[in-house]
């Protein structure tokens, strides 16, 4: 969601963060002949009972994670329990038949004027509800009441408009969790979706189960999210759109790759092209990482004669409420005035000769017309309004309107910790199964915990302007995941081992209670190894440098410790010299990749990215790696001033803070990627079983 000031009252109510997910369907262009305008319907997503979505050959899946999750899938109970946080988590499938995706008839054969739009819905718009937000009955709404209002006051009226006007069309984007809520509590709404999908008036976009800030995390979270999303759509008997648009308009090269795992084929790009690429080329169609991309820019292509009008790419919640959003509580209401305005806009498009259709069908037409795609050189990890949000800084360090309740680094690092705990449980489940242990119960626990984890990754817990309740939404679920993962690990390990500790190697899947007796090489205090400065007004600052021989030659660690001396202060910044003419980092979800982009090809300077695995180059053979369990903030890169920095404006509370940052000297790129992966994604974890 975006900040939107519709009245003076909204000064303290609006502008907290939103946007949804996007699709999960195989690319399927059959059944649509542009030369004749003939249409027919067909299944876009196969029934899970008969077929799986096609996998992508260029999606690298960690063998350990794959084994662990296959074990979970093989043994999971049909009905997952309601999770410990109170989120409705049943996946009971009511009898229904998979709906076939329809296609609208164009008004005349060979249409050349297209009108497309995306209405992004986010059932976690106010994650956790509004109780405690303001001392006013207007805001006395729990999470379910807010979720229901989003459906009844904004989604339902939009669907009714489309049902009343069979030539109107749009893409409706939502996370899988929203579809679960619709299926469980709003069956009439689900039937509307079925009809509109069958008639071709809508495609339902969805890429993630929760409205996660997925560009801040590695591949594991999105693997689990995609699996949960598929379950949600299969349970609702709905196909997922081939096009992908996401919460906060997130886009990454890793998303383009992961789309293949979900069976999707078109990435929708808003905002990040101009932010990323200096020499932009305007085109109807692009290619990146082997898949199609369209931007949300209206244009006319002289070569093909095709005109596209993107009439809307925005929050669906405010569409029929005169711009008011769910933070207004009981004031968030459908209005007939807004409905008439929307119907008028749609009718005007038809009157001007536009063919209203879905993004997926529009791209099919482009291929039918043999429109040539322009290859994109790269796109940085980011969101749909990067200039206003400082790209990812709004979620990873920037203070918002309700800043006293924020805790960006606490949320982001906590999510990294809890994800590793679930991964360890998955590895133990796979290991225990090889020993003949009945792991069905534990597989069900791991499945439920993965669901809680991706819900906790919701972007609204750290940006744009999260209030305390949204921050607690994430922190409560993080704590729940960590506690329940440990309890499950302890119980399952007791069925296999007799020792007091176990080691779980997330890289290999090996689990043992044989603790090595070889003494660990101690860290050695050393002089500073890089040009670093720390600014933290109102804090006592201590910098400590260590050589870390246990992690390899040329590995050093900087510990920055802050102790607050002025409770009114909340900001720190750690700045590093930058001696490179290229950005070298790992895009989100491409855990084994080091992407190299010359700074003179990047349009924005300074810019920010999220460092999903914590890695960025300082020069050609020196790399910085955040320990993402202690610091996971956006990195700001200023190539002109030869510096980069991490900034946190949300250090609230009085507890001391310590950040661990590694400096790797004389490392190759692949070795640096492997170090970051071992540190942050597949470490060896120790669990004490007597705690």
- Peptide bond just before 464 cis, omega within 30 deg: yes
Residues in the chain: 691
Non-local CB neighbours of 248 within 8 Å, separated by 6+ positions:
17, 18, 19, 211, 213, 383, 384, 395, 459
* Element of type H or E holding 134: none
Range list of β-strands (E), 54-158? 113-120
pLDDT at position 95: 78
pLDDT at position 25: 33
Q: CA dist 165 to 321, 358, 615, Å? A: 20, 15, 51
Q: What 3-state DSSP class applies to 462?
A: coil
DSSP string, 280-294: ----S-EEETTEEEE
* Range 221-257 burial, b when 16+ CB lie within 10 A, else e: bbbbbbbbbbbbbbbbbbbbbbbbbbbbbbbbbbbbb
Choose among 426, 451, 440: nearest CA to 91. 451
Backbone angles phi, psi at 212, to 5 degrees: -80, 155
Structure tokens at 609: 């990215």
* Element of type H or E holding 179: helix 176-185
pLDDT at position 64: 38
Residues 355 and 113 sit within 8 Å (Cβ to Cβ) = yes
Q: How many degrees, rounded to 5, is the angle at CA 136 between CA 135 and CA 142? A: 90
**Long-range contacts of range 522-529, CB-CB < 8 Å, 24 or more positions apart?**
522/550, 523/547, 523/548, 523/549, 523/550, 523/557, 524/549, 526/556, 529/556, 529/558, 529/663, 529/665
pLDDT at position 174: 98
Non-local CB neighbours of 592 within 8 Å, separated by 6+ positions:
60, 673, 677
pLDDT at position 517: 81
pLDDT at position 17: 38
Place of tokens 């081939």: 242
Can you list the residues of the chain whose pLDDT is less than 50? 1-67, 69, 72-86, 91
Q: At what angle are helices 336-351 and 156-164 packed, to 10 degrees?
A: 40
Q: CA dist 497 to 72, 429, 437, 484, 510, Å? A: 21, 13, 12, 19, 13
DSSP string, 543-608: EEEEE-GGG-TTEEEEEEEEEES-TT---EEEEEE---SEEEE--TT-TT--EEEEGGGBS-SSEE
pLDDT at position 41: 30
* Element of type H or E holding 482: helix 468-493
Structure tokens at 500: 């007091």
Kindly report whether the global pTM for this prediction surpasses the value 0.75.
yes
């Amino acid at each position: 969601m975006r900040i939107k000031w519709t009245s003076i009252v909204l000064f303290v109510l609006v502008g907290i963060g939103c946007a949804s997910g996007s699709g999960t369907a195989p690319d399927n262009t059959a059944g649509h002949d542009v030369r004749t305008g003939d249409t027919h319907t067909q299944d876009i997503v196969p029934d899970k009972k008969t077929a799986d979505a096609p996998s992508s050959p260029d999606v690298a899946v960690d063998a350990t994670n794959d084994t662990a999750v296959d074990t979970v899938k093989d043994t999971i109970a049909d009905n997952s329990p309601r999770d410990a946080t109170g989120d409705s988590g049943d996946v009971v499938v009511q009898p229904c038949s998979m709906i076939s995706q329809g296609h609208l008839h164009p008004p005349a054969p060979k249409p050349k004027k297209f009108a497309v739009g995306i209405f992004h819905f986010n059932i976690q718009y106010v994650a956790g509800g509004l109780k405690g937000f303001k001392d006013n009955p207007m805001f006395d709404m729990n999470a379910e009441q807010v979720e229901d209002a989003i459906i009844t006051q904004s989604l339902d009226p939009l669907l009714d408009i489309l049902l009343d006007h069979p030539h109107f069309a749009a893409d409706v984007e939502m996370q899988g969790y929203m579809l679960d809520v619709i299926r469980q509590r709003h069956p009439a709404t689900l039937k509307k979706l079925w009809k509109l999908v069958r008639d071709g008036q809508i495609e339902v976009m969805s890429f993630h189960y929760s409205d996660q800030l997925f560009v801040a995390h590695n591949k594991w979270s999105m693997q689990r999210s995609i699996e949960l999303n598929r379950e949600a759509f299969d349970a609702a008997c709905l196909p997922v759109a081939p096009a992908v648009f996401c919460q906060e308009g997130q886009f990454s090269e890793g998303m383009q790759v992961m789309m293949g795992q979900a069976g999707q084929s078109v990435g929708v790009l808003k905002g990040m092209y101009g932010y990323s690429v200096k020499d932009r080329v305007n085109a109807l169609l692009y290619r990146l990482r082997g898949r199609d991309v369209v931007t949300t820019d209206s244009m006319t292509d002289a070569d093909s004669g095709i005109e596209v009008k993107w009439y809307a790419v925005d929050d669906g919640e405010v569409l029929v409420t005169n711009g008011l959003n769910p933070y207004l509580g009981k004031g968030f209401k459908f209005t007939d005035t807004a409905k008439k305005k929307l119907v008028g806009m749609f009718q005007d498009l038809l009157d001007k000769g536009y063919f209203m259709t879905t993004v997926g069908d529009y791209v099919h037409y482009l291929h039918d017309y043999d429109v040539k795609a322009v290859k994109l050189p790269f796109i940085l990890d980011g969101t749909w309004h990067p200039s206003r949000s400082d790209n990812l800084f709004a979620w990873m360090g920037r203070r918002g309107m309700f800043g006293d309740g924020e805790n960006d680094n606490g949320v982001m690092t906590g999510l990294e910790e809890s994800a590793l705990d679930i991964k360890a449980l998955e590895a133990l489940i796979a290991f225990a199964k090889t020993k003949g242990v009945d792991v069905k119960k534990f597989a069900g626990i791991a499945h439920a915990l993965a669901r809680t984890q991706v819900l906790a990754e919701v972007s609204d817990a750290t940006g744009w302007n999260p209030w305390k309740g949204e921050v607690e939404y994430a922190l409560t679920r993080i704590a729940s995941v960590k506690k329940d993962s440990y309890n499950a690990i302890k119980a399952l390990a007791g069925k296999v081992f007799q020792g007091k500790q176990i080691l779980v190697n997330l890289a290999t899947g090996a689990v043992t209670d044989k603790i090595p007796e070889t003494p660990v090489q101690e860290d050695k205090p050393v002089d500073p190894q890089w040009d670093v400065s720390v600014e933290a007004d109102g804090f006592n600052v201590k910098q400590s440098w260590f050589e870390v021989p246990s992690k390899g030659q040329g590995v050093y660690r900087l510990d920055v410790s802050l102790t607050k001396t002025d409770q009114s202060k909340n900001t720190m910044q750690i700045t590093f010299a930058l001696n490179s003419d290229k950005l070298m980092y790992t895009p989100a979800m491409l855990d084994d990749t080091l992407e190299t982009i010359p700074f003179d090809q990047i349009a924005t300077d300074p810019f920010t990215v999220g460092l999903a695995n914590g890695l960025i180059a300082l020069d050609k053979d020196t790399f910085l790696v955040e320990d993402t369990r202690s610091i996971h903030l956006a990195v700001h890169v200023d190539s002109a001033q030869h510096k980069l920095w991490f900034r946190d404006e949300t250090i609230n509370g009085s507890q001391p803070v310590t950040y661990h940052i590694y400096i790797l000297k004389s490392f190759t790129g692949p070795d640096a990627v492997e170090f970051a992966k071992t540190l942050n994604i597949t470490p060896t974890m120790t669990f004490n079983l007597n705690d």
